[in-house]
Amino acid sequence: DQQVKQNSPSLSVQEGRISILNCDYTNSMFDYFLWYKKYPAEGPTFLISISSIKDKNEDGRFTVFLNKSAKHLSLHIVPSQPGDSAVYFCAASENRDDKIIFGKGTRLHILP
Amino acid sequence: NAGVMQNPRHLVRRRGQEARLRCSPMKGHSHVYWYRQLPEEGLKFMVYLQKENIIDESGMPKERFSAEFPKEGPSILRIQQVVRGDSAAYFCASSPSPSWWSEQFFGPGTRLTVL
């Protein structure tokens, strides 16, 4: 039973436009949500996080939005750049010290 | 400061053989975490170790899998009598303190192929 779901296996976005990656979760005990970025042949790298007490967190071109009532979060990248082409994993944990549960990932292609 | 190192990067084994995957954490990091990524899946937590101690192995399969992190040397994930279903990418991460995500740095992974 998947607790963190990324229903879009892939997404293509024109360079300069906004990329929106979506994630849904089922466990209402999740309190921390994270996004990781992964290039081929590399390990994931932590991108941005949000705790359940917030509904938005912004870091440069990256913004994560959390809708707790809908159990939904999204990652917005604007403007999208060629180097953003990667697999993005949504992840969640019940608290800062608990294990991370990952989604299956969404492959983002930034088109020239 | 070198990042998390894993070797080998690619490992091919025949069914029934043993696989040993190594992880050298970042300098100053004494906490190691192993994850497995099956094809078309997300990463799944396997085990969390500190030096000479297994802290949480709730994600480890009950049989054939073991992990250690000795006082000296890398952390080892050992898979005995491999089967085709063990084919996956195995990632290790390290952190300087008990931290599940905020300070975890991942290695490049070992891709295990079982023939």
DSSP string, A28-66: TT--EEEEEEE-TTS--EEEEEEETT-SEEEETTEEEEE
> How far is C-alpha B100 from the geometric centre of its chain's CA atoms?
15
Pull the structure tokens for residue A83.
């180097």
Asked if residues B53 and B115 have their Cβ atoms less than 8 Å apart, the reply is no
pLDDT at A34: 93
Report pLDDT for B99. 65
**Structure tokens that stand for A111 in this block:** 């088109």
The pLDDT of residue B96 is: 84
φ/ψ of A83, rounded to 5, equals -70, -10
**What DSSP character marks residue B30?**
-
Which of A32, A45, A98 shows the shortest C-beta gap to B106? A45
Which chain A residue has the Cα nearest residue B39?
A: A104
CB within 8 Å: A91 and B40? no
pLDDT for residue B101: 67
The pLDDT value recorded for residue A100 is: 87
Q: pLDDT > 70: what percent of chain B?
A: 95
pLDDT of residue A2: 85
Secondary structure of residue A83 in the 3-state scheme: helix
- Distance from the Cα of residue A53 to its chain's centroid: 17
| Whether the Cβ atoms of residue A16 and residue A110 lie closer than 8 Å to each other | no
Chain A hits for B98, CB-CB cut-off 8 Å, are 97
Q: Is the Cβ pair A46, B99 closer than 8 Å?
A: no
Count contacts between A and B (CB, < 8 Å): 59
CA distance A34 to A29: 15
To test the contact with chain A by mutation, choose from B32, B100, B102, B104 the residue with the greatest count of A C-beta atoms within 10 A, namely B100
CB contact under 8 A, B108 and A41: yes
pLDDT of residue B28: 86
pLDDT greater than 80 at residue A106: yes
Measured torsion, CA atoms of residues A85, A90, A95, A96, in degrees rounded to the nearest 10:
-10
Cβ-contact B73, B47 below 8 angstroms: no
Kindly state whether B8 is in contact with chain A, defined as any CB-CB distance less than 8 angstroms. no
As given in the structure block, the two tokens for residue A56 are 């938005």
Query: In chain A, which residue's Cα lies nearest the Cα of B111?
Result: A41
The answer, yes or no, to whether residue A61 has pLDDT greater than 90, is yes
Closest of B34, B32, B8 to residue B20, by C-alpha: B8
Instruction: Tell me how crowded residue B29 is: count the other CB atoms within 10 A of its CB.
Output: 17
pLDDT confidence of residue A99: 82
List, as one string, the DSSP characters of A77-110. Answer: ESS--GGG-EEEEEEEESSTTSPPEE---EEEEE
What's the confidence (pLDDT) of residue A62?
97
Q: Say which of A43, A96, A102 has its CB closest to residue B102.
A: A96
Residue carrying the six token digits 């078309």? B40
Is the CB of residue A89 less than 8 Å away from at least one CB of chain B?
A: yes
Identify the three-state secondary structure at position B85: helix
Q: Does B101 contact A49 at a Cβ distance shorter than 8 Å?
A: yes
Mean pLDDT of B26-32: 90
Question: Among A74-83, A89-98, B54-63, whose mean pLDDT is lowest?
Answer: A89-98
pLDDT of residue B98 exceeding 80: no
pLDDT of A77 = 98
What CA–CA distance (Å, rounded) separates A95 from A80?
Answer: 31
Q: What is the pLDDT of residues B36-83, one digit of tens each?
A: 999 888 899 999 999 989 999 999 998 999 999 999 999 999 999 999
- Mean pLDDT, residues A86-101: 88
Instruction: Assess whether pLDDT exceeds 60 at residue B1.
Output: no
The residue-averaged pLDDT of B84-96 equals: 94
Q: Do A100 and B58 touch (CB under 8 A)?
A: no
pLDDT, tens digit (0-9, with 9 covering 90-100), for A2-55: 899 999 999 999 999 999 999 999 999 999 999 999 999 899 999 999 999 999
